Amino acid sequence: MKPMVVKRSTIYLIWVIPIIAIIISGIMLFNEYAKMGESVVIIFKDVRGFKQDETPVKYKGIEIGIVKNIEVDPENLNKFFVTAKIKKSFVKYLTEGARFWKVSPKLKPTEFTGLSSIFSGSYIEFSPATSDVRKLSKLKSKRKFYGFEEEPKTNVTYFRLYSEDGSLIEGAPVLYKSFIVGNITKKSLKGNNVEYIISINNKFASLVKVDSHFWKISPVDVKASLPEFQLKVNNIFNFFFGGIQFDSPENSTPVCELDKSSEEFQVCNQKGFYLFPSRGDTEYSLKKIKLILKNAHKIQSSLKFIYYKGDIAGKVVNSDYIVEKDVKYLYVRMKRRYSGFLAYKSFFWIQKPDFESLNLSSLIKGTHIEFSFYNQKVKPKQEYILYHSRPYKGVKTIVLKAKSPIGLNEGDYLFYGKKIIGEVVSVMLNEYEEKYNCIIYKEFKNLLLYNPVFYKKNAAELNFSLENASVEVSPLKELLSGGVAMLKGSENKGKVLTYYPLFKSRKEAENYLYLNGRGLKLNLITENLNGIYEGIPVFYKSMKIGKVYKISFDEKNNRFLLKAYIEKNFKSLVKENSLFYKASGIDIKMGLQGVTVKTENLLSLLKGAIVLKNNNLNNSKSFPKKQYKLFTLEQLENREYVKGYLLSDNGYGLKEGSLVFYKGVVVGKVKALSIDNENVKITFLIDKRYSFLLSDKSRFYIEKTKFSAGEVKNIESAFLGSSLKIAYFKSGKRQTVFKLVGVNPSDTVYLEGFRIFVFAPQITSLSVGSPVLNRGVQIGQVEDISLSEDLTSVKLTLFIDKKYKNLITDNSRFLEVKPIAFKAGFIYAKVDFKSFATMIKGGIEIVTNGEGKKVEEWHKFVLQSSKE
């Protein structure tokens, strides 16, 4: 039997080395894994550039982890879960407030980021909430984070914008007054709009207000209109990259304040601002209204803008055409300053160019939409009918006719006060007159019952003349709108006319109404026009009652014809025998009660006026004539006064215009003073009603202020000047030339009584006013003292009260009474003071012994000295 040979196995020697290597590797991997710490999940929206087990997680250039896994969210394909292992030494920093973001090369208009990743590839950057260990221990640990596409900025505030245009790129600048305050952080598509997220540096974030407007910066801004053309090229940076600019009202409030403790990407305004295509578009409201155009096939032109009186009030932003209905919907944005007009009853219509008028503005605008409104508040609507022509409902059509150029335009408004009552709808011009077809709105048609007139409403109505001055400034609404103003006339009792006059100014319109106010029109005839002009007023007792409105020349009769108008309330003052005369504007009346100076308005003060005078015709029922003669003052004087002359050795203060009195009543005036043979010749006028005063029995005195012992007389003459007085006793022969009797006569010259003459060789104490006594009772007084006709004695005129005239007989004696009678003897001494009057002035005692015969007035006596 052969022996069995057993071979020793050597397999374990083969596997020892690999096993040892595996063990060593496992130990190394375990140690490395233990150092890697814990896993975190970072949620990104874009993971391009990330690689599993290759993409590192870094903190300021130091690798602190690595991407281990990348998965897509099955419920949201734009959401990715990136799992990364973070070294154990950094696990404690995985707390709330920590940030992860993607770092990759990015070229932006305002910056170039991620340069370090050009060669190393994309990586994830980490930033802890804080580096303070004590603060870190108070924060809550986290293992799930949102990753940012770029480094989150801690010193900016984010805002959301939305637009129909997505042409702006991320990183484009955001400017405020041409100063860069931020940039576009990102953009995305949200429904039918493009959403922009912009970041504004915190120190400028307060500039974004609730009422801020954002608009896209265009490389070139073009502003063109009929009066001007502007071309503005923005800076080269904006030319290539564009950008956003915004403004902010000063009184508005900031948008919001962010929660700084939030870890998520925050946007300050969730609703978002609208990004306007241009700065000019910021004038428009964001709210759209819809215009509905039926029979749209009739309008082949594109409709772009809405006009209000030549100004762009809105624009069409888009439109839809419904073929089967032949209806077009136009979506319009109105300018904000016109949006408030929609609170009134508004209407829109299509306006075609007016080729007949050759209006350049109309031709350039082409077929467009016009907009207007009634002065009636309503709730604003979202839809309006777009009419093919201007609509008019419930209005009254009238025609305004102007004989002189006015220059109204179609669409100008008609005003009554501050209310718009109608408008001009068309203009008809020819070489003779202008006609304007107008409409009056339904609620104002009743104004036509008052026979109105119309005038061109100017920015300021200036009315300056010697008669008055006024300035009327139109309200702002009328200045902007322009147009016509209405003045009401007299009520027309239900009758409404079709044609109405149109004037260039308010003054012309008021004058027309004045002359058509149902007053009295009459003619005045005059030989000359000295001081007479169109518009000269007519007065009655200092009250203006009318005026002269037209002057013409009558060649046939070589005279002037004045057409005068007397107002309705005063036309009854004009009688058949009324007088009209040209007078100055100053009327001075003087009398015993003082002086009255009346002046009319400035015009009549300088140029005078026409005066209506009726004398005693106020109660007359006679009807006015159609024509009157216009008298001059001289003609009126010859007609109403008689002339007299007074000769004196002195003028005694008389002057032209000095008044003539009889018993305190003004009966005339001094016409003139002149020198005639060394005498002063005083020409005076006496009212014809008092012509009986020009009698040979009348006497004329001059009255001046007199100061004497015991009395002051005629004090008013110190202020008014001297006046002429007439003493009339009884009728006699007509006489026109008189001699001045004296100055400051006795008060009795105007009284009815019994007068006699007493002659004396001389007088000592007697004077005008000295009493005449009978048994101590005063029965009269010395009325006048003068020399006798033969100049050999003194003649005293005594006035005796008529009830005592029977005491005067042919045997009466007249004794002079001295002011103080003194008697003395051996036994006694006596002083007789008599009465106070005789003590001052002396007097005359009448003594009648026995029965005598009665004497006639003006009987002559002799004055005797009193006996002791």
Q: Is the pLDDT of residue 821 over 70?
A: no
Q: Are residues 212 and 137 in the same domain?
A: no
Q: Which of 323-327, 389-393, 595-599, 639-643 has the lowest mean pLDDT?
A: 595-599
Instruction: Work out the average pLDDT over 819-840.
Output: 48
Q: Are residues 295 and 351 in the same domain?
A: yes
Predicted confidence band at 262 (pLDDT cuts at 50, 70, 90)?
low
Instruction: Work out the average pLDDT over 640-667.
Output: 88
Could you give the angle at the alpha carbon of 859 between the alpha carbons of 854 and 860, nearest 5°? 125
- 8 Å CB contact between 489 and 500: no
Q: Is the pLDDT of residue 131 over 90?
A: no
Last residue of a domain, one of 515, 548, 566: 515
Predicted confidence band at 2 (pLDDT cuts at 50, 70, 90)?
low
- 8 Å CB contact between 454 and 500: yes
Domain span at 334 = 281-387
pLDDT at position 221 = 55
pLDDT at position 327 = 92
Q: Are residues 700 and 768 in the same domain?
A: no
Percent of the chain at pLDDT > 90 equals 24
Q: pLDDT: is 254 or 225 the higher one?
A: 254
- 8 Å CB contact between 526 and 628: no
pLDDT at position 841 = 61
Q: Is the pLDDT of residue 759 over 90?
A: yes
Task: Tell me whether residue 27 is in a domain.
Answer: no
Task: Tell me whether residue 2 is in a domain.
Answer: no
Q: Is the pLDDT of residue 112 over 50?
A: no
pLDDT at position 9 = 52
Instruction: Work out the average pLDDT over 266-288.
Output: 85
Q: Are residues 782 and 806 in the same domain?
A: yes
Distance from C-alpha of 866 to C-alpha of 861, rounded to nearest angstrom: 15
Q: Are residues 701 and 653 in the same domain?
A: yes
Distance from C-alpha of 694 to C-alpha of 644, rounded to nearest angstrom: 8
Q: Is the pLDDT of residue 385 over 70?
A: yes
Tokens of 799: 């006035």
User: Which tens digits make up the pLDDT trace of 203-213?
Assistant: 888 889 888 99
Q: Which amino acid is at 44?
A: F
Q: Which of 143-152, 239-248, 590-599, 777-786 has the lowest mean pLDDT?
A: 590-599
pLDDT at position 4 = 63
Task: Tell me whether residue 285 is in a domain.
Answer: yes
Can you name the residues that pair with 483 across neighbouring β-strands? 413
Q: Which of 12-21, 257-266, 488-497 has the lowest mean pLDDT?
A: 257-266
Task: Tell me whether residue 9 is in a domain.
Answer: no
Q: How many residues does the chain have?
A: 868
Distance from C-alpha of 670 to C-alpha of 648, rounded to nearest angstrom: 14
pLDDT at position 29 = 66
Q: pLDDT: is 232 or 152 the higher one?
A: 152
Q: pLDDT: is 458 or 398 the higher one?
A: 398
Question: In the chain, what is the straight-line distance between the N-terminal and C-terminal CA atoms, in Å?
Answer: 234
Distance from C-alpha of 843 to C-alpha of 698, rounded to nearest angstrom: 26
DSSP codes, 60-95: TTEEEEEEEEEEEETTEEEEEEEEEEE-HHHHTT-B
pLDDT at position 16 = 75
Name residues whose C-beta falls within 8 Å of residue 167's C-beta, 6 or more positions apart in sequence: 216, 242
pLDDT at position 728 = 78
pLDDT at position 202 = 84
Q: Is the pLDDT of residue 546 over 60?
A: yes
- 8 Å CB contact between 128 and 98: yes
Task: Tell me whether residue 162 is in a domain.
Answer: no
pTM comes to: 0.45
Distance from C-alpha of 834 to C-alpha of 660, rounded to nearest angstrom: 39
Q: Which of 206-220, 354-368, 456-470, 647-661 has the lowest mean pLDDT?
A: 456-470
Distance from C-alpha of 203 to C-alpha of 157, rounded to nearest angstrom: 9
Ranked by mean pLDDT, which of 3-7, 182-186, 407-411, 748-752 comes out on top? 182-186
Cα Dmax for the chain: 239
Predicted confidence band at 214 (pLDDT cuts at 50, 70, 90)?
very high
pLDDT at position 305 = 92
Q: pLDDT: is 58 or 608 the higher one?
A: 58
Predicted confidence band at 650 (pLDDT cuts at 50, 70, 90)?
confident
SS3 content of the chain, % helix, strand, coil (to 5): 15, 45, 40
pLDDT at position 232 = 53
Predicted confidence band at 246 (pLDDT cuts at 50, 70, 90)?
very high
Measured CA to CA in angstroms, residue 791 lies from 237, 485, 648, 650, 795 at distances of: 127, 86, 18, 21, 9
Nearest to 865 by CA among 826, 821, 827: 821
Task: Tell me whether residue 29 is in a domain.
Answer: no
Q: Are residues 547 and 534 in the same domain?
A: yes
- 8 Å CB contact between 92 and 136: yes
Q: Are residues 135 and 180 in the same domain?
A: no
Q: Is the pLDDT of residue 224 over 50?
A: no
pLDDT at position 833 = 45
Q: Which of 22-36, 83-97, 553-567, 721-735 has the lowest mean pLDDT?
A: 22-36
Task: Tell me whether residue 220 is in a domain.
Answer: yes
Last residue of a domain, one of 631, 662, 686: 631
Q: Is the pLDDT of residue 260 over 90?
A: no
Q: pLDDT: is 470 or 120 the higher one?
A: 120
Distance from C-alpha of 660 to C-alpha of 864, rounded to nearest angstrom: 38
Q: pLDDT: is 411 or 321 the higher one?
A: 321
Last residue of a domain, one of 727, 745, 763: 745
Q: Which of 77-81, 600-604, 643-647, 802-806 has the lowest mean pLDDT?
A: 600-604
Instruction: Work out the average pLDDT over 705-732.
Output: 67
Q: Is the pLDDT of residue 830 over 50?
A: no
Number of domains in the chain: 7
Distance from C-alpha of 762 to C-alpha of 423, rounded to nearest angstrom: 99
Q: Is the pLDDT of residue 291 over 70?
A: yes
Measured CA to CA in angstroms, residue 114 lies from 52, 119, 186 at distances of: 20, 10, 17
User: Which tens digits make up the pLDDT trace of 28-55?
Assistant: 766 666 566 788 999 998 888 898 988 9
Instruction: Work out the average pLDDT over 525-537.
Output: 89
Q: Is the pLDDT of residue 8 over 60?
A: no
Tokens of 644: 């007299």
Q: Are residues 506 and 550 in the same domain?
A: no
Q: Are residues 270 and 285 in the same domain?
A: no
Task: Tell me whether residue 133 is in a domain.
Answer: yes
Distance from C-alpha of 526 to C-alpha of 551, rounded to nearest angstrom: 11
Nearest to 814 by CA among 849, 784, 767: 849
pLDDT at position 240 = 57
Q: pLDDT: is 798 or 460 the higher one?
A: 798
pLDDT at position 139 = 87
Q: Residue holding tokens 């009186």?
A: 309
Other beta carbons within 10 Å of 642? 18
Radius of gyration over every alpha carbon of the chain, rounded to an integer in angstroms: 58
Can you name the residues that pair with 517 across neighbouring β-strands? none
Q: Are residues 758 and 854 in the same domain?
A: yes
Q: Are residues 310 and 404 in the same domain?
A: no
CA 277: distance to chain centroid? 41
Q: Are residues 551 and 596 in the same domain?
A: yes
Nearest to 754 by CA among 856, 863, 861, 862: 856
pLDDT at position 607 = 61
Distance from C-alpha of 547 to C-alpha of 562, rounded to nearest angstrom: 10
pLDDT at position 206 = 85
Measured CA to CA in angstroms, residue 650 lies from 313, 681, 767 at distances of: 89, 9, 21
Mean pLDDT, the chain, as a whole number? Answer: 80
